[in-house]
């Protein structure tokens, strides 16, 4: 099943159609072309990127077509649609007639009605791969006009997905392997589509769960939820707690009065903690009792509505211990303000003391969850000071990628009718690499990758154990001679002859692959600050072709 974030042919820039018309007008629409989708610089101040969005690209290609007004284009198996969405995605050639110049010949619209992606071949790195600048994420080969129309939708599907997955991977590195990461950014995301994409690609990048129910349904992502401050502040007293009886976890018998049991525990807890019971907030206590009675197997307390240690903690402990007496276990407690690391230590000590005092060993390990505009920097700092945090909820700075708004992927023509093409510009960083290429990852004796090599399509495949002459890109060491212990091709065919050629992994499988890819990468390239750039190089033959183009430019008057 493909991803649910879908583009359609009108989700593009107008100039894609004006260029396609230009190709068609001069009879070049069927010219055999090659385009590459890549990025020029790693995002977020790091030195690696996680590639994501491939399944959405395959879904788009599988359903790519135009229709007359009132006709629905083909729908891919497993796509999420509603009636209103089905009406929306009707790709109306009549609309194009209304926005393109009046002198566009009618034959162009007939041409659009008969095209699809069946003549397109898509090669790509596997989704979830760790990737680097200048190495194509996607390579597309097919008719020139069709590949031109595909540009903007493919960039839309890859740019945000890869940026969010990379951001999530950085959060995972900052948090360490043992701490749970929960994505809670739906309300802060860039609209419904952005929120759904963020949940999926945050999970792929290394998060453990999401609060987004639709994402949980569509992508089988574990769901997590607690309660908000509004629930707590909505209560004023115990008179608003309507549920009086609560069955034991085993279901053998009901308790006579759950609120009374909670009151008994509150008196015991306050006495033990030496907190005057009148200092605890009664509305907060009522909210906890009400929430626990409605969801005894999913009780999570939010402690900072009023005062964490004098009110939130005693109230939580009382209700959680009452649940424990009935055979239930509290799922956790959450902090959303203040010095989260210091408070977590205070809370853990209190939980341990209550566990010892009341003979409930499991109480000492109740998970502590923190939130409150958490950033990668916050998690790095948390790692370097004492704390007892088990889980972290991350929203705004994850889904909006606040430290960088776009990955900056580009889509460039590299070959037409078998002849290499290049973009030469005043900005050397924007000069493209000419020709159809193949990419290989070279591994050292320790099994770690050390260089990605770009070669012309006609060159022989590099072999392990043989010296390879190449030239480093972007501030490297110039001419290189390297020998690899293992060589792997980076690109595989994923779409050809109108068919997806490889099985689509689940989100959980891609997530696992991301972590495997990152674990293979040497530590110096994964540092969250001042990381060492990974080396990308071109073969001697490709370098010579590049020099040929650049020298031609210099020689021109």
d(CA 16, CA 150): 8
In the sheet where 391-394 sits, what is the strand order? 209-210, 180-183, 391-394, 368-370, 332-335, 300-302
Read off the DSSP letter of residue 163: H
- Contact between residue 203 and residue 511 where contact means Cβ atoms under 8 Å apart: yes
Residues 238 and 338 in one domain: yes
Task: Point out the domain boundary residue: 337, 365, 393.
Answer: 365
Continuous segment of H or E residues that includes residue 511:
helix 507-520
d(CA 295, CA 239): 19
288 in any annotated domain: yes
> The domain that contains 456 carries what CATH number?
3.20.140.10
Continuous segment of H or E residues that includes residue 284:
helix 282-294
Which pLDDT value is given to residue 69?
56
Residues 409 and 281 in one domain: no
Residue carrying structure tokens 């591994």: 443
Compute the C-alpha angle 18/24/29, nearest 5°: 110
CA 102 to chain centre: 42
Work out the number of other CB atoms within 10 angstroms of the CB of residue 358.
16
Task: Point out the domain boundary residue: 365, 387, 413.
Answer: 365
Which pLDDT value is given to residue 552?
60
170, HSE (Cβ side, Cα atoms, 13 Å): 30
Q: Average pLDDT for residues 447-461, to the nearest whole number?
A: 97
Phi then psi for residue 182, to 5 deg, are -120, 125
- Contact between residue 423 and residue 412 where contact means Cβ atoms under 8 Å apart: yes
Which pLDDT value is given to residue 219?
95
- Contact between residue 245 and residue 322 where contact means Cβ atoms under 8 Å apart: no
Q: Tell me the two tokens of residue 50.
A: 């996680």
Residues 107 and 250 in one domain: no
Residue burial 119-156, b: 16+ Cβ < 10 Å; e: rest: bbbbbbbbbbbbbbbbbbbbbbbbbbbbbbbbbbbbbb
135-182 tens-digit pLDDT? 999 999 999 999 999 999 999 999 999 999 999 999 999 999 999 999
Q: Tell me the two tokens of residue 324.
A: 């424990």
* Structure confidence at residue 361 as a pLDDT band (50, 70, 90): very high
Count of the separate structural domains present in the chain: 2
Q: Average pLDDT for residues 389-393, to the nearest whole number?
A: 98
Residues 304 and 426 in one domain: no
Residues 433 and 328 in one domain: no
Q: Where is average pLDDT lowest: 24-28, 188-192, 302-306, 409-413?
A: 188-192
User: What's the helix, strand, coil split of the chain in %, to 5?
Assistant: 40, 20, 40
Residues 341 and 448 in one domain: no
Which pLDDT value is given to residue 82?
39
d(CA 540, CA 288): 69
Task: Point out the domain boundary residue: 365, 381, 411.
Answer: 365
Domain of 547, in residue numbers: 14-168+403-555
Which pLDDT value is given to residue 234?
97
Phi then psi for residue 75, to 5 deg, are -110, 140
Length of the chain: 557
- Contact between residue 326 and residue 369 where contact means Cβ atoms under 8 Å apart: no
- Contact between residue 61 and residue 120 where contact means Cβ atoms under 8 Å apart: yes
Residues 347 and 434 in one domain: no
Smallest CA-to-CA distance from 205 within 401, 4, 427, 444 is with 401
Which pLDDT value is given to residue 329?
97
199 in any annotated domain: no
Compute the C-alpha angle 187/189/192, nearest 5°: 85
86, HSE (Cβ side, Cα atoms, 13 Å): 11
d(CA 422, CA 412): 9
Which pLDDT value is given to residue 94?
85
346 Cβ contact partners less than 8 Å away, ≥ 6 residues apart? 308, 309
Say yes or no to pLDDT of 520 above 80: yes
468 Cβ contact partners less than 8 Å away, ≥ 6 residues apart? 442, 453, 462, 481, 482, 483, 484, 539
Q: Average pLDDT for residues 313-334, to the nearest whole number?
A: 97
Work out the number of other CB atoms within 10 angstroms of the CB of residue 298.
16
Smallest CA-to-CA distance from 492 within 78, 27, 122 is with 122
* Structure confidence at residue 86 as a pLDDT band (50, 70, 90): very low
206: alpha, beta or left, given left = phi > 0 and alpha = psi -120 to 50?
A: left
Residues 134 and 278 in one domain: no
Residues 344 and 421 in one domain: no
* Pairing mode, strands 437-443 and 492-496: unpaired
530 in any annotated domain: yes
Helix (H, G, I), strand (E, B), or coil: what is residue 147?
helix
446 in any annotated domain: yes
Say yes or no to pLDDT of 66 above 90: no
Residue bearing the bigger pLDDT, 256 or 37: 37
Which pLDDT value is given to residue 475?
64
Residues 43 and 113 in one domain: yes
Residues 156 and 246 in one domain: no
397 in any annotated domain: no
238 in any annotated domain: yes
Which pLDDT value is given to residue 345?
98
Helix (H, G, I), strand (E, B), or coil: what is residue 471?
strand
pTM for the model: 0.93
Smallest CA-to-CA distance from 528 within 169, 250, 229 is with 169
Smallest CA-to-CA distance from 240 within 216, 226, 259 is with 259
Q: Which residues sit opposite 138 in a β-bridge?
A: 37, 124
179 in any annotated domain: no
Q: Average pLDDT for residues 471-482, to the nearest whole number?
A: 83
- Contact between residue 119 and residue 33 where contact means Cβ atoms under 8 Å apart: no
Average pLDDT of every residue of the chain: 92
Q: Where is average pLDDT lowest: 52-56, 373-377, 406-410, 470-474?
A: 470-474
Say yes or no to pLDDT of 87 above 60: no
Residues 411 and 360 in one domain: no
189 in any annotated domain: no
Share of the chain above pLDDT 70, in %: 93
């Amino acid at each position: 099943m493909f991803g649910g974030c879908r583009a359609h042919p009108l989700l593009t820039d107008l100039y894609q159609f004006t260029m396609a018309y230009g190709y068609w007008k001069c009879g070049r629409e069927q010219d055999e072309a090659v385009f590459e989708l890549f990025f020029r610089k790693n995002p977020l101040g790091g030195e690696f990127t996680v590639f994501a969005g491939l399944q959405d690209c395959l879904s788009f290609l599988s359903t790519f077509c135009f229709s007359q007004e009132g006709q629905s284009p083909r729908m891919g198996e497993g796509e999420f649609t509603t009636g209103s969405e089905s009406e929306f995605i009707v790709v109306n050639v009549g609309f194009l007639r209304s926005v393109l110049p009046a002198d566009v010949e009618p034959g162009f619209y007939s041409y659009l009605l008969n095209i699809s992606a069946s003549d397109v071949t898509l090669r790509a790195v596997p989704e979830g791969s760790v990737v680097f600048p200048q190495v194509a994420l996607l390579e597309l080969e097919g008719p020139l006009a069709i590949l031109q129309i595909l540009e903007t939708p493919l960039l839309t599907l890859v740019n945000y997905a890869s940026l969010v997955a990379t951001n999530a991977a950085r959060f995972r590195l900052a948090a360490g392997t043992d701490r749970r990461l929960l994505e809670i950014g739906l309300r802060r995301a860039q609209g419904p589509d952005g929120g759904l994409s963020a949940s999926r690609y945050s999970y792929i990048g290394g998060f453990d769960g999401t609060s987004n129910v639709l994402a949980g349904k569509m992508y089988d992502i574990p769901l997590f939820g607690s309660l908000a401050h509004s629930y707590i502040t909505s209560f004023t007293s115990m008179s608003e707690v309507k549920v009086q009886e609560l069955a034991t976890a085993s279901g053998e018998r009901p308790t006579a009065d759950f609120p009374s049991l909670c009151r008994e525990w509150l008196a015991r807890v306050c006495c033990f903690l030496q907190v005057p019971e009148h200092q605890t907030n009664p509305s907060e206590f009522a909210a906890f009792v009400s929430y626990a009675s409605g969801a005894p197997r999913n009780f999570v307390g939010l402690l900072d509505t009023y005062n964490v240690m004098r009110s939130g903690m005693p109230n939580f402990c009382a209700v959680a211990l009452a649940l424990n007496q009935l055979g239930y276990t509290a799922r956790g407690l959450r902090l959303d303000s203040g010095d989260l690391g210091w408070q977590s230590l205070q809370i853990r000590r209190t939980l341990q003391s209550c566990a010892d005092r009341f003979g409930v060993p499991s109480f000492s390990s109740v998970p502590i969850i923190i939130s409150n505009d958490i950033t990668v920097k916050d998690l790095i700092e948390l790692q370097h000071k004492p704390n007892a945090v088990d889980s972290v909820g991350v929203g705004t700075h994850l889904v909006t990628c606040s430290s960088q708004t776009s990955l900056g992927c580009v889509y460039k023509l590299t070959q037409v009718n078998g002849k290499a093409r290049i973009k030469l510009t005043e900005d050397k960083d924007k000069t493209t690499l000419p020709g159809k290429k193949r990419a290989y990852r070279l591994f050292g004796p320790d099994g770690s990758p050390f260089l990605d090599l770009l070669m012309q399509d006609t060159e022989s495949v590099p072999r392990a154990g043989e010296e390879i002459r190449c030239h480093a890109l972007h501030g490297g060491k110039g001419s290189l001679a390297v020998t690899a212990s293992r060589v792997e091709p980076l690109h595989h065919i994923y779409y050809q002859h109108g068919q997806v050629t490889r099985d689509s992994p689940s989100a959980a499988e891609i997530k696992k692959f991301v972590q495997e890819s990152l674990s293979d990468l040497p530590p110096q390239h994964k540092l969250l600050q001042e990381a060492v750039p990974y080396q990308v190089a071109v073969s001697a033959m490709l370098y010579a072709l590049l020099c040929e183009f650049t020298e031609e430019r210099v020689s021109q008057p």
